[in-house]
Chain A
Amino acid sequence: MDIIRKITKANLCGRGGAAFPTAKKWKMVKEAKGEKKYVIANGSEGEPGVFKDTYIVEKYPEKLIKGVLLAMEAVGAQNAYLYLRADLYEKHKKNLREIIQEKILRQAQNDTIKITVFREDGKYLNGEETTLLNSIERKRSEPRYKPPYPTECGLWGCPTLVNNVETFYQVAQIADDNYKNQRFYSISGKVQNEGVFELEVDLTVDQVLKKTKNYPERAFFVQTGGGAHGFIYTKDECKNALLQGAGALVVHDYQEDPLEILKFWTEFFLLRNCGQCIPCREGFYRINQLLKQDEIDYELIKEILYVMADASYCGLGQFAPEGYLDFIKKILKR
């Protein structure tokens, strides 16, 4: 059975956060017209609460490269990039290059295929797929307007498959008939057992916390998704809430100053947005200013967030307000 059909059967979805069906994306690139095609493994991982890609690059580099090679074969690409966050690149470039060399030689498909280990030259936003493409092309690191999507017009204008590091790992698992319908969860915050855990997909937050022996004794709330992006769930909601996004779970308790959490997110986004579109650039600047005031105008902040979610250029501005609005409603009760 060919790999795309196997992936379809396994029902694998992208693990970068958007959960796009992997087989569908591969098919799109496979069927796209273009002399050259590219495959890119996205290891830019920048959300404060996500560290599972780091874990995979460290523990399972062979699986990652196997997944990439499978993708290259499946979509007909001669070139691939392992796009790694600077610290990951520095730490693992040697090892990864050795594995690539060995794998390519052993498989001996042909000697024209090439996998480049690429050092990310910016931060955070480069994880957004079109920003990543710009970054490889040495352009300013900021998103491109979609459409066209990378699947038809990506790196240097060629059809390009961009998948998260974990997605490629899972593809290798599928190919080896090892896939157990699992995903990696990154758990951090006010817990005893911080770390990365491989558990079934479709678990509720409660189940994840309990299975990893992380269920807090004190009253708590969690952010799921990324640690800056992501919905907020109160203790009660955790019973039914599913864990989405990039599989991060950040646990907070009520002893923290809620304002500090807001300020942490705001500073995070303020320093990491590209500045391209007004709703996001100005929105975060103004939220940052408003949070510094003695009397905080939450109505205005909410208005800023609605507009940001409704009109921003890329996922950063479109989805960042979700966490804020949840937080203001559920935790601050405004």
Chain B
Amino acid sequence: MPKINVQINGKRYTTEKEVSILKFCQEIGVEIPTLCFHPDIKFHANCKLCVVEIEGWPRLNPACAIKLQEGMKIQTDTDRVHRTRRMILQYVFGEHVTDCKDCLRSNNCKLRKYAKQYKVEKPIFKPRKKNRPLYTCGNTITFDTRKCIECRNCIDVCRKQGIGFINLERKGYRSTVKPHDEPKNDCIYCGQCINHCPVGAIHSRKEFDCVMDEIKNKDKIVVCQIAPSIRVSIGEEFGIPHGQIMTGQLVAGVKKLGFDKVFDVQTGADFTTIEEAKEFVDRLQNNKILPMFTTCCPAWYKYVEQKHPELIPNCTTARSPNMMNGAIIKEYYSKLINVPREKICVVAVMPCTAKKFEVERRELDIDGVPPVDYVITTRELAHMMRLSRIDLSKINEENFDSPIGESTGASAIYGASGGVMESALRTAYFLATGKELKDVNFKQVRGSLKGIKRATVEIEGTELRVAVVNGLGNTEEIIAEIKQDPEAYHYIEVMTCPGGCIAGGGQPLPVNDEIRKKRAEALYQIDTKKKIRVAHQNPEVKKVYQDFFDKSPGLAHRILHTHYEPRSKSEVEMYTCPIMKKFTKKNSNL
């Protein structure tokens, strides 16, 4: 590689990397403001906030789009640059209706930061989009076009996910980003658009205020259950470095919010592993339909229902850990403490926005009682904590409550791409052979950056071909492979969000590959540190099977499994402010 000599703000640098000015400046610690740029997708260069001056070039140029060239002399902070950035920010405030008090992003809002930095706190233009509509898809994701600055990140990331649900209509100042009208094109609620929106114009259904009300309700036992990946990400909301394990602090914080009990969805994940491994071994040994797909990811199985109903028989019927856990709380735990299940309210903290849709699936109800009542995202939980002045960086650790608080290493890694596969393989090996693995690590299926991971695993002479799809955009490749050769794979894991749940649509922001890696590493650390690293050895889980499921045949199947049906497009509701639609829980018996 030839060396490139450049000057940035008068300082000389030599590099071998062929990177954009923006990336290089970020590496050497020169700050350049950006809105439309996100490392996950190709640059747009349309917000023009990152403009810099390059000597000899007639105009200002966007740092995100221009690669370093030999001899470039770059100025990032001149009056000319500031003049443009100030005007751009004024335009942005003229487009983006500032409605900060309801915004979950207000604590780490780029716009507010830049407004202060570039002294544009006083807007000179009237907000021009205040009469634009809001669109809500399936009661889960809301596009607030009043806040949109048309950077198009959501459109690109939705296409990358293989959906292309978001569309740009009309031209010029009239252009609007809105959900697709095409009846075959439907949202899967993965929330990646939220994670890539620079200005908080897209959000998921806000349920935290309902949860606050439930907590205050003295008649109810309000139980919180926490997904595996939250403990390695929530710290970021409180200024703690990426990839820190915050399990104890998180439990303590949730208890301080006033929840009666705090349970671990990792316990539920151990149930899922066992049920799924049982089903897999059954399919394998009795020549039933293969390959089997995992369905822990609610966005993925909605995708199957709407786009590939022919694959429904390939999906495991085992419920997601969240739903299993909720069902066990309402069916088993309620009997233990002798409280009617209607009196228990289960609030799940999830890294995911599609989980908000999952709780509305009535086929998961048990005798008309939903296993989980509310799903809040990591961001919502952090917001609740901030409202209650709880700071996770200054809190003493506490433990999950019994009897749904014990978990194994196998369940921790559910939050990372490849984790479900690895956990299931650990247990499937035991179920198929009756023996424990000497080495429980299946490193071939790990990694948050590769789109598809293929591996062969040997169980007692049988060679298993497995695949892990990391990011929904990669599934069509695998589906095409199995259409061509139905025996290409035995077992396939699909996670909609690149990296897995650690970078889900409800997680703290920003998210990029580096952060994905750090969060995933933290989960694998939890796994390695656990004494028990296979799901079927979880003592609490064993006890529930012994005391509860094994006593009434068919019970486990009734409350731990589900079914899928072909699905047509969900409703897209359009409404305008100030007649804001208030969130209501549909068909809820609460």
Contact = CB atoms under 8 A, between A and B. Distances in A.
Contact of B59 (A141, A274, A309): A309
Given A277-B46, A278-B47, A278-B92, A307 B84 contact: yes
Interface stretch (A12-20, A183-191, A282-290): A282-290
Interface string B146-188: 0001100000000000000000101111110000000000000
Contact of A307 (B45, B83, B171, B175): B83
B555 interface: no
Given A140-B168, A286-B91, A309-B59, A278 B48 contact: yes
Given A273-B172, A310-B80, A311-B59, A279 B48 contact: yes
Given A285-B128, A309-B59, A279 B171 contact: no
Given A273-B171, A282-B173, A307 B46 contact: no
Contact of B125 (A276, A279, A286): A286
Interface stretch (A42-50, A77-85, A224-232, A298-306): A298-306
A309 B172 CA distance: 17
Interface in B38-70: 43, 45-48, 51, 59-60, 62, 65
A118 to B, nearest CB: 20
A271 B172 contact: yes
B84 A311 contact: yes
Interface residues of A, number: 31
Q: Is the interface of A mostly helix, strand, loop or mixed?
A: helix
B88 A307 contact: yes
B457 interface: no
Nearest to B64: A145
Contacts of A303: 83, 87
Contacts of B46: 276-278, 313
A172 interface: no
B95 interface: yes
B124 interface: yes
B171 A300 contact: no
A275 B128 contact: no
A127 B150 CA distance: 23
A275 B172 contact: yes
Contacts, number: 85
Given A279-B84, A279-B88, A274 B47 contact: no
A311 B168 contact: no
B94 interface: yes
Contacts of B92: 278
A63 interface: no
Interface string B6-22: 00000000000000000
Interface in A7-64: none
B84 A310 contact: yes
A285 B51 CA distance: 21
Contacts of A277: 45-48
Interface in A254-300: 270-279, 281-286, 289, 300
Contacts of B94: 282, 286
A275 B150 contact: yes
B173 A284 contact: yes
A72 B65 CA distance: 32
A318 interface: yes
B124 A300 contact: yes
B87 A307 contact: yes
A304 B124 CA distance: 12
A276 B65 CA distance: 15
Nearest to A275: B175
A285 B60 contact: no
Given A278-B91, A282-B94, A286-B94, A311 B172 contact: no
Nearest to A297: B124
- Chain B CB within 10 Å, residue with most, of A278, A307, A309: A278
A210 B175 CA distance: 45
B65 A145 contact: yes
Contacts of B47: 277-278
A79 to B, nearest CB: 27
Given A275-B150, A310-B80, A313-B46, A318 B59 contact: yes
A133 to B, nearest CB: 17
Given A277-B46, A277-B48, A270 B59 contact: no
A282 B49 CA distance: 13
A272 B172 contact: yes
Contacts of A141: 171
A289 B127 CA distance: 12
Interface in B112-127: 124-125
Nearest to A274: B171
Given A278-B46, A313-B45, A306 B173 contact: no
Contacts of B83: 303, 306-307
Given A306-B83, A309-B59, A274 B172 contact: yes
Contacts of A274: 171-172
B60 A282 contact: no
Nearest to A288: B173
A324 to B, nearest CB: 15
Contacts of B168: 140
Nearest to A125: B171
A201 B464 CA distance: 76
Contacts of A276: 46
Interface string A135-154: 00000110001000000000
A294 B170 CA distance: 30
Interface string B172-210: 111100000000000000000000000000000000000
Nearest to B83: A307
Nearest to A269: B172
B171 A311 contact: no
A265 to B, nearest CB: 14
Contacts of B45: 145, 277, 313
A320 B198 CA distance: 29
B381 to A, nearest CB: 34
A284 to B, nearest CB: 7
A17 to B, nearest CB: 16
A38 B43 CA distance: 27
A311 B51 contact: yes
A279 B43 CA distance: 17
Nearest to A286: B125
A307 B48 CA distance: 10
A285 B173 contact: yes
A35 B120 CA distance: 52
A271 B175 CA distance: 11
A157 to B, nearest CB: 14
Contacts of A310: 51, 59-60, 80, 84
A275 B173 contact: yes
Contact of A282 (B59, B80, B95, B170): B95
Given A272-B172, A279-B84, A281-B175, 5 more contacts: A273-B171, A277-B47, A279-B48, A284-B173, A311-B59
16 contacts: A145-B43, A270-B172, A270-B173, A273-B171, A273-B173, A275-B170, A278-B46, A279-B84, A281-B172, A284-B173, A285-B172, A300-B124, A303-B87, A310-B59, A311-B60, A311-B62
Interface of B: 43, 45-48, 51, 59-60, 62, 65, 80, 83-84, 87-88, 91-92, 94-95, 124-125, 128, 149-150, 168, 170-175
